[in-house]
Structure 1
Amino acid sequence: MATTDLTRPSRSSTASSVSDSASQGIRQKESSHHVNKPEEMRESPPPPESRPSKSPIHRINAPGSVQALAVDDDVLFAGLQGGNITAWSLETYELLATVPAHKESVLNLSLCEDRSLLFSTGADSVVNVWSTQTLQRLYSLYSPFEIGDIFCVVHSTPKQTLFWGAQNASIQWHRISTDASSMSPTLTFAPGSRKHRFFDSLGPGGTSNVISDEEGFSTTSLDNQGGRVLTVPNHNYLPYAHKSYIYCMLLVKGLLNYGRCEEVLVTGAGDGTIKIWSIDSLSTDGLVQLTKFKNTGSNVLSLSFRGSFLYAGLSDGTANVYNLASNQLVQRLSIGHGDISQISVNSDSILCGTSHGRIKRYNDHFMETECWAAADGKILAMSQTKTSGHDILITGGNDGSISFWDADGHSHTSIASSVRSNDELVNALREFVSFRTVASNPTCVRDCHDAITFLRKQCNAFGATTDLVSPQEGVNPILVAKFTASRPSSSTKTKPKTVLFYGHYDVVDAEVGSWTGGDPFSLQPLNGYLYGRGVTDNKGPILAAIYAVADLVQQDTLSCNVTFLLEGDEEAGSRGFRDAVGRMKSSSIVGDDVDFILLSNSYWLDDHIPCLTFGMRGVIHATVTVSSNRPDLHSGMDGKSVQHEPLKDLTVLLASLIGSTGTKITIPNFYDSVDELSDLEFRSYTNITSSLLQGHPEIKNERSFSQSLMQRWRYPNLTIHQIEVPETKTAVTISGLANATLSIRIVPSQTAERIATGLTEYLEDQFAKLQSSNRLKVEITSKADPWLGDVNSELYHSLKEAVVEVWNPATDSSHRSFPSDNRNTTSSSTAATSNDTISDLGSTTTAATSGSTSTSSSSTTTIQPGSQRSSHRRASSLASAGTFTSTNLPRQPLFIREGGSIPAISFLEGEFDAPAAMFPMGQASDNAHLDNERMRVENLWKGRDVLKRVFSRL
């Protein structure tokens, strides 16, 4: 039989086409007696532009319509159209497992009281029982009768009995013990093997066709997903419990008029009635009806209970409130916006979900307090949980989305008192990202100043002493925020040490039209990631560090002084930064007594193994210009073989810089100070390759990959970026001016000043040899020294220890062991790949990944970066690739270097004479500086945790 809009057909898709015409009459009849308005008069969904908006805490794109939800302590279970159950982490929103649960759509999920068992029902007339710790199926329960779709299921702990309601208006029950008590005998057949009077009747000639499902499995065979197969005894069956489909049920106890300790069953159905049943004497009397409420002309689609009040969502757009102590209707709420498909209550709110995708909230006085659009289609499932003392509402719909909402009916407390919540960190990051802090764009000046004011307020609320410093006129201010240690260091018992944390709040600009998720300055939480400009470079890590310190201040366990030095001009060249820092050294907030310098402004080598960065190349940027005192000439009329043309002179100069092969820098004595490769350093590259090899089969040649890392990290390089003439010229023009921009990446033991001087002198010497009448100008536009940290320092030791504790799979406290072959081992979103091909890694193929798309009937916003990743200064060709599992994932962080440059790190190390360390929070596929920049939620949470441990131990 087919069902209403809220469910899926009860037979396979092959059979559904046959049954549609037969069941249409039933569907029409069902609709005609429970809907007050004719179809043409029923309320239409509001247009998208008129829908009230509210930002979700997070959103997940599920692979299909979300029919049911059940919330465990740290895992969300979702039942999907098509029959799968998915498990998602409530902490990081990542997919943990997917299991095929039913041959057709999952229609309901429920947990037992101690949450050790998960119960699922489906359109295949089956009830399955699962372990919540392993997602292994323990039992499959089949009815001896044709009951159709099973819409609802609940478990009574006192009775150790499972109840469910079905499409044929029946209620069934079976003893399911949470302590593995005895069960009924096993079946040797399943409902699919029974002869159905309509679907399995003989065809022409007296033959019978075997119907197979979409995957080709015959419905006449038992499924092979494991677990015991149980049959429901005939006497555990109440036919015609209602006069229509039983859509919802729940168990209630504590009602004085039914016995304070007695548990009663409440059911709601398509006939508009709500019935209360005694389950006290199941073995002798079965279910005994105690009372009922009528709702003429409506379906009862959802039920919820709190105190002595029962809340019912109806198909006519209303919600009724009953006092079960007096058995009377006390309130009728006109919700509107379609059917009230879901209803849920918490300590101070009534939350109603509708078939038009709206959520309406009412307070205890039945006054509407909030309304927002939660889905693009119908809301088919709702559940609630608590995190950090906050109520969280979770919704699922036929648009394939699972959304997490703040369900508190009251305003939150102050920033400082709610600091321990990761949700508060995301809320702060949402506001931080909303400021378009582009230092090079004059129209963004107000946003930049608003952002630094926001940061200052955050730090002040958490107990910091703050100051704003102006580097120079027209440059964004620098925020200095000092948190004083709560107690002396446990190791020294002397005055606490001081950590200087450097970061920048300015970002590279982004255009709205180029981001798949919409506005790049509006945080988009999706599929376990946070998308937005600056979320990984560098706003997310800054807030994670501030909140880590705030946690310790609140707990009175901050063992060191932490001073934040946050500039707003890093992406524009850090104008005036060095002079400003020099002035700060004489201030009371910063001073010159700094023990460690810490940054979090880089990325892992891949998407799976945490890293600690201990080295970066330096850089010299230069512009070389050759000009003539003559105007532009015509090559035919004025060109001479002995004439020195600016572009020809520039070409000769650039060629002389890189030698005949173009791979060797010819500046005299350039390589003299490049350190020799020691055996110890060579082994470190080999160890990195070995660690990556476990989960990166695309690395075909270990030695080639190690050499590739060396070339990018520990050897210098010269790149010519651009050669140009002042304006567009014709093919016969001799330009009077030509210039080129180039950069030289230098390595430890080389100094930017000496190499810049050597470059200038060499170009001038070579130009003099040309005996040209033209003029040469060499301009060093910026330079930064290389940096090499001491991996044996106290700070690195503390970072390594904290990373191992936070990221080590052995420390996982969930104690779950979901099926490993169904685990999501790669990124849940389409991940970007580098412009570098895997030929750099010893292979000749180009890395490529593909994104998954939703199979739901309604569309939803899906962020899918392009298949090719644009070049970034610190991008990795291993971004998003990897097939690691919990068994072969390295448990130690990788100590890596980078080929890019951060000028501030070497400068601060020298200015304060203090060792620096780099703690990367982001993954290789974070897309910093690129479209669809993102940061994984897990990395943000754990980055905060790592820093919290470090700041409590130094």
Structure 2
Amino acid sequence: MNQNFTSPIIPHPSLSRELQSESGNPVLVHSLHEAKSSVLSLAATDEYIFSGNQNEEISVWNKTTFQLKCTLRGHTGSVLDLEYAPDKNWLFSSSGDSTIRVWSTETLEPLYLIDPYLETGAGDLFSLTWSSTLQTIYVGCQNTSLQWFSFKGAPPPTLSSNPTCSTPSSSPPTISPSVSRKAHKFFDSYPQYERRAADIHANNGVQSGSRTPRIPGRGSPDSTGSVIPHPKEFVAIPPENVIDSAHYGYIYCMTYLREGDKTGVQIATGSGDETVKVWSCKPDNLVPELVHEFSFSHGAVLALVAKGDTIYAGCQDGYVKVLDLETKTLVRTIIVQEGVDILAMSRLGSDLYTCSANGWIKRWSSAFDCTASWKAHDGISLSSLVTKRSSGEFCLVTGGNDDHINVWDVKPPKVRVRPTEDEEENKCAHSCIGTGTFHDTMIYALSKFITIPSISSDPAHREDCRQSAIWLRKCLGQLGAHTHLLPTGEGNNPIVLATFKGSINEKPKRRILFYGHYDVISAPFTPSNNANQNTSPASPTAPFDMPTTSAATPALSTSSGGWTSDAFTLTGRNGYLYGRGATDNKGPIIAVACAAADLLSRRALEVDLVFLVEGEEEFGSTGFEDSVEKHKDLIGDIDAILVSNSTWIGDDRPCITYGLRGVIRCGLQIVGPHPDLHSGVEGGAVAEPMMDMVKLLATLTEGDRTVRIPGFYDAVRPQTDKEKESYKLLSEVTQRPASLLSSRWREPSLTVHNVEISGPKNATVIPACVKAQISIRIVPDQDLDTIVKALQEYLQSSFDSQDSPNSLKFQVEHTADWWLGDLEDHWFKSLESAVQEEWGVAPLQIREGGSIPSVPYLEKVFKCHALHLPMGQSSDQAHLPDERISLVNLQKGKAVVERFLVKVAQEV
């Protein structure tokens, strides 16, 4: 197939708009230098910035002067996490040496040393979080355990009156004679021959390089000869304060979520097992109870940050998962940079800062747009925090493996004006109306989707179709769906399966399947006579202006039969979006997806919406049925099927489609016993296959287009009085005869599509082989198999009556059954109501003369009803040059779906 364009590069899958600019990036305020050490963790008080490094130390920086105050020593492994407890003025540090140390943020002296259960068997202690309500520190361990230690009833440390720092000039802390600690089975053991149990008074002569004996109140010299003061108290996590195998991977990160008077507190943990778990810890029972588990397929969860009921999970492959605690749903995915680990995250107001393994930091708005992006470190960005400077201004502090801690000037985002009570009530009353944010996302996503020439009928575009499926899967995933690609057999395009999961609660949820297709037909580009008009096309990647004309604005003239603009660049003109697939079927797919995402963001999605989007609909849906059968369990139970793959009967009145004709597409071939012959030599002497084909095709219909196949009309459902009234109304609306509408929608038909011949196709050749393609459109209650059999028998009988020496071959190339919806069904009633509320007028009930093979098939497989919501107008030029969809129709189509999903959820 000849295509006059070059296949474009597959667009970047991110739906986040790039709104950053050089002037909008944060300014570097100051840079702090660590001596040849990666900065793994950060914490801050009003006075200090604390940085934990790979050199086993914690540096203390003055927030005002940015000078190094001192260095806290004691760990014998990398300092992996720091947690500040403002209510206690304590700093917790966890390390690769399998200990947690507690420091005073006022005197900077060590207070406690906490051994995890199993001590070194717990491995690296990656993460910490403090609960002031429970006075408890929670620890995430390398051995996959979740441990905690409560300071209620713990021995209080004896504080010295003067600040102490572990530097060469520091003096040893005051020794408390009443200190007690747990005996270490190795360091506090007696010689084996003494057969005595270990106790804290034992001295077995520890060798150099071994773990330092923990003797309270004494100092140990470091490599420089400085005395490192020991903690005042040594405590251990008891075995009952441990959840073994809390995850099936290292617990890399942890964050405090929220607390309540009766429910206690909640924490979240992220792990290498690609999950985030939410735990509830009650005051009367500190044992964390698993509340919910979020599972992903985007690598280990390396960073967590929370705000209110929202959790942000940074993953190993460059994705951020946005999770809602109240509904227990995934509401959005942000693609930061694919394949580049997200190692740290911080929040300031509604802004999210992500730190990646390539040294870059990006800022994301509440609308998930990228508003800043800059290279923060010459290496890996490992840690971050947002804190206030002494001036009251906010700063973002980041640490990297380039030996630097960088301080960036950042500002909180502008607070949106709180809506008035009337506006709030109006919002509640019309909770299905979409937001401008998702309108922008919808157009931005569609502009990318259109650029992929996913032409299923052309083998040259097979890879474009596959890339279209991959892109769509990532698109739906970012909008909050759980996604899969389903194979349909070798050489066929995959199916995109995506599920938007509704709120998890005690109420049963309905599951609705949305069927669509991402493939399109070809679009040869031949500029039209209007190609040079001053129509000012909008940028395909920028939000489009709303139309200034009515939805019925006629299409631009395409008298030359070509496109006014590039078919695979979404172009906005006069309130319409032009591009192949805009109305059939990429526009409706994106609109329905954004409707689900909008409801998710408002915690209003109370149903599961399952997307099943194929890539072969325009080419026979090859492999679709087999794949659905194979993966039926993965798709799950379905209560109703929603389709949006057609147009209105006109341009001004919304419609609901309740019927489709079926189709039987056949190939005929008549072959003679001779090769191609010269008509001047053999004309009149042989039975010509072309003459046989012409006679055979002529026997199929009468002069009034009545099909002559015996019994063809026997099963056709008679027209009811209600239908007659409906056609009369539609005739008045469309200014078309009711009989014409009836013949197009509810009466069967036969069409001859083409005739092809062998040979050089000139006027002197008698072709040896002639092929023809015919199709039959069937209606209720015609049986597909019965009609196929009757057609074959009739063709063979007609051909035999010609007594020709040539031979006839008959092949069924494609079939699809008819479909008729139930207008009295509550699903249709809900959809009608949603359309009327959004458009302010009752929708017209129409049928379609075309066929969608998968609709009746899906009804049979899932044993439920289907309903069809057309979004486009009759003038949208589907399958023709200058295909388009109205901005108004796209936006209102999205809003109708939102209303519909809310309505059917309330009917449970």
TM-score, with length taken from structure 2: 0.47
Q: Give the number of the structure with larger relative contact order, counting CA–CA contacts within 8 Å between residues 6 or more apart.
A: 1
TM-score, with length taken from structure 1: 0.45
Q: Please tell me whether Structure 1 or Structure 2 has the larger radius of gyration of its CA atoms.
A: 2
